[in-house]
């Protein structure tokens, strides 16, 4: 067991500005019905794990990946699900959350199928553990779109600024709101995203109405610049609690790997904890939100560019509709994913694992 690593993670969690409860006990109502969205997300998550596992085993000469986390076919509403879910909660509260994938030296694992994942010593011999996350985005397309949107908004801000600083608008704004006039006159491309002002409306003359519209348009463009414009690796604080419990039991360095439909990014849990402990990084390389659609759980949105592009390309899988009939005759239609291929960058992967 890697005592130094477990101590480092425990220390970083204790120093975190967020409330990460290391004694957290998972409780709550057992789900009674699955949804089509849940089944689709589950299929996508399973596909992402396959992509990662196969990419590592095909392209890495040093390491072998073994699927480790729960691989179940029971869903809410299925016979036996209540017992399965209760057992899973007990596991989270005792052992912690098992990572999706364990990484071993190839010399320590002769094949992908002959091993005992219930053997504590064998699991502790892993050199890395990976939590796989999936996202329904094309990372490259998203980045291109956001870059174009940002450049367009910056150009609009500059255009509106020039219009406002011309007469007769400049004198009117200097008279009505001298502080705002000063801010706008000194603004640059780099500071537009810091703008925060109330765009009040004036209506007593045509010129004032035009100035009001300029200010309203400037406000709208700065709002665009202030929106989060990056895709994220998305650990939840509750997940970190139970992930840490597993780490303290087994001592294996943990990583998050976010799989998009065209590439994948990896970041160590240690880096996430270190970066989020620095308040200067908030709203720059990470943000925090409470998702009301996910039982109010607090999620860290970590810019994928802070991680490293470890799967440089992914071939799109085939996808088709499927249907599941529940006990009462309720039909759930969802999407399944088959095939596709991930192309690992073995050098990047080796560097990340070596630094773990």
Supply the DSSP string of 285-346, one letter for each residue.
TEEEEEEGGGTTEEEEEEEGGGSEEEEEEEEPPEEEEEEEE-TTS-EEEEEEEE--EEEE-H
Distances, alpha carbon 308 to alpha carbons 127, 196, 259, 284, in Å: 19, 33, 12, 17
pLDDT of residue 109: 85
Read off the pLDDT of each residue in 145-158 and give the average, rounded to a whole number: 95
**Mean pLDDT, the chain, as a whole number?**
90
Answer whether residue 243 shows pLDDT above 80. Answer: yes
Per-residue confidence at 113, pLDDT binned at 50, 70, 90? low
Dist CA 201 CA 211 (whole Å): 9
Distances, alpha carbon 241 to alpha carbons 26, 66, 70, 96, 167, in Å: 10, 23, 18, 8, 59
pLDDT of residue 88: 84
Dist CA 21 CA 343 (whole Å): 37
Q: E strands within the chain?
A: 63-67, 101-105, 128-134, 232-233, 254-259, 264-268, 286-291, 297-303, 308-315, 318-325, 331-338, 341-344
Q: Cβ–Cβ contacts within 10 Å for residue 168, how many?
A: 12
Answer whether residue 291 shows pLDDT above 80. Answer: no
pLDDT in tens, 177-199: 999 999 999 998 888 888 888 88
Per-residue confidence at 229, pLDDT binned at 50, 70, 90? confident
Determine contact, residues 128/53, Cβ cutoff 8 Å: no
To the question of pTM greater than 0.85 for the whole model, the response is yes
Supply the DSSP string of 197-232, one letter for each residue.
-------SSHHHHHHHHHHHHHHHHHHHHHS--S-E
**% pLDDT > 90, the chain:** 68
Answer whether residue 293 shows pLDDT above 80. Answer: no
Whole-number CA gyration radius for the chain: 25
pLDDT of residue 74: 76
pLDDT in tens, 214-223: 999 999 999 9
């Amino acid at each position: 067991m890697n005592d130094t690593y477990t101590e480092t993670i425990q220390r970083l969690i204790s120093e975190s500005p967020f409330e990460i409860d290391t004694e957290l006990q998972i409780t709550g109502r057992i789900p009674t019905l699955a949804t089509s969205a849940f089944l689709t997300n589950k299929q996508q998550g399973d596909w992402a794990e396959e992509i990662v596992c196969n990419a590592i085993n095909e392209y890495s000469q040093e390491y072998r990946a073994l699927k480790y986390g729960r691989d179940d076919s029971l869903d809410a509403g299925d016979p036996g699900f209540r017992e399965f879910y209760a057992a899973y909660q007990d596991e989270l509260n005792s052992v912690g959350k098992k990572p999706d994938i364990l990484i071993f030296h190839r010399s320590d694992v002769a094949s992908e199928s002959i091993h005992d994942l219930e053997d504590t010593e064998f699991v502790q011999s892993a050199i890395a553990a990976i939590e796989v996350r999936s996202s329904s985005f094309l990372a490259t397309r998203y980045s291109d779109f956001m870059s174009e949107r940002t450049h367009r908004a910056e150009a609009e801000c500059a255009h509106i600024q020039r219009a406002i600083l011309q007469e007769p608008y400049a004198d009117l704004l200097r008279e009505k709101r001298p502080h705002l006039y000063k801010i706008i006159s000194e603004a640059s491309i780099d500071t537009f995203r810091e703008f925060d002002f109330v765009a009040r409306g004036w209506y007593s003359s045509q010129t004032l109405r035009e100035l009001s519209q300029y200010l309203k348009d400037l406000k709208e463009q700065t709002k665009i610049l202030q929106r989060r414009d990056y895709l994220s690796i998305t650990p939840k604080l509750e997940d970190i609690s139970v992930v840490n419990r597993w780490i303290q039991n087994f001592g294996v360095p943990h990583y998050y790997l976010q799989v998009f439909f065209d590439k994948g990014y990896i970041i160590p849990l240690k880096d996430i904890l270190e970066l989020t402990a620095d308040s200067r990084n908030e709203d720059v390389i990470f943000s925090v939100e409470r998702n009301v659609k996910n039982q109010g759980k607090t999620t860290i949105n970590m810019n994928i560019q802070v991680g490293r592009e470890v799967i440089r390309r992914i071939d799109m899988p085939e996808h088709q509709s499927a249907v599941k009939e529940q006990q009462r005759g309720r039909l759930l239609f969802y999407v399944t994913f088959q095939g596709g291929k991930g192309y690992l960058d073995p050098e990047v992967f080796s560097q990340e694992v070596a630094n773990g």
